[in-house]
Amino acid sequence: MGFKYKSLDLKLMGKRVELVRGLQTQTAFAGKLKITKQEISRLENGKVVNPSPELLLNICNSADPPLNMKWLLTGEGKQLGYDFGLGFVRETGEGLRSSRVDPSDYIYMPVYDVKGPAGGGPAIESEQITDHIAFKKNFLKNTLGLNEKDLVLISAAGESMVPAIHDGDLLLLDMRDNFFSVDGIYCIRHARESSLMVKRVQRVHNGTMIKSDNPAYDSYTILKGEMIDMEIIGRVVWAGRKL
């Protein structure tokens, strides 16, 4: 069988790099690889024509156990039977065997910068996108029962919701739920405030109670007639943090 020249699909390779990065931010992943966030962004978007062998080697070695270089470059061959949240591991008579990763199985969720003032816009889309993180579509649809088109990620700020939510946690918001359909944790904004808040919401007989899980912070009740001043961005349906 003769040699056949093979071109790399840089966009698909970039998606595999993004899957390896997982829930790490581009900044954190770039720091491990001793490159800039901009370089990781260009690589994940398929804009680096000739990534250095040293960089590719270190991307493979950033996983535990290390990844197969051929899989990273082409998607072919074994990924090394380990579950990175990218596929699944099967136990067979021959030992562990990894499934092939299909980038189309994943949605790349935008992370919005909402720690600072949110401005006067009616929706979170007015904020700046700082990153993207991959989630498996099957996990969002079948496990969480969510529609990927209605979801965004933000970062929590402050300690008012400890122990449920800590400063810096990633929060997944379901923006369909913008009317307090059930008691839960919501991202909200009062008309008199410029920034977003993440609070536990409980409906009571005379209105809605806005609660902080941390007892050092006050709770308060918004009367039914005052709800017109409250903008509900969405309900928090998932949270992730570094341990």
pLDDT score of 161: 92
Q: Could you tell me if 136 and 85 are in contact, meaning their C-beta atoms sit under 8 angstroms apart?
A: yes
User: H/E element holding 97?
Assistant: strand 95-98
pLDDT digits (tens, 9 = 90+) for 43-81: 998 999 889 999 999 998 887 778 888 888 888 777 763
Residue 204 pLDDT exceeds 70: yes
Q: Could you tell me if 161 and 141 are in contact, meaning their C-beta atoms sit under 8 angstroms apart?
A: no
Q: For 171, how many CA atoms within 13 A lie in the half-sphere containing its CB? A: 29
pLDDT score of 107: 83
Q: In the predicted model, what is the mean pLDDT of the chain?
A: 79
**The CATH fold of domain 10-101:** 434 Repressor (Amino-terminal Domain) (1.10.260)
How are beta strands 184-190 and 230-240 bridged, if at all?
A: antiparallel
pTM: 0.57
For the chain, the residue count is 243
Of 153, 154, 156, 110, the residue nearest 132 (C-alpha): 110
Of 19, 5, 174, the residue nearest 107 (C-alpha): 19
pLDDT score of 194: 63
The reply to whether domains 10-101 and 106-240 share a CATH topology is no
Q: Map out the domains of the chain as residue ranges.
A: 10-101, 106-240
pLDDT score of 86: 38
pLDDT digits (tens, 9 = 90+) for 116-159: 333 333 345 545 777 778 888 888 988 889 988 889 899 888 89
Q: Where are the alpha helices (DSSP H) in the chain?
A: 10-21, 26-33, 37-44, 53-61, 69-74, 137-138
User: Domain 106-240 class?
Assistant: mainly beta
Lowest mean pLDDT among 82-86, 184-188, 206-210: 82-86
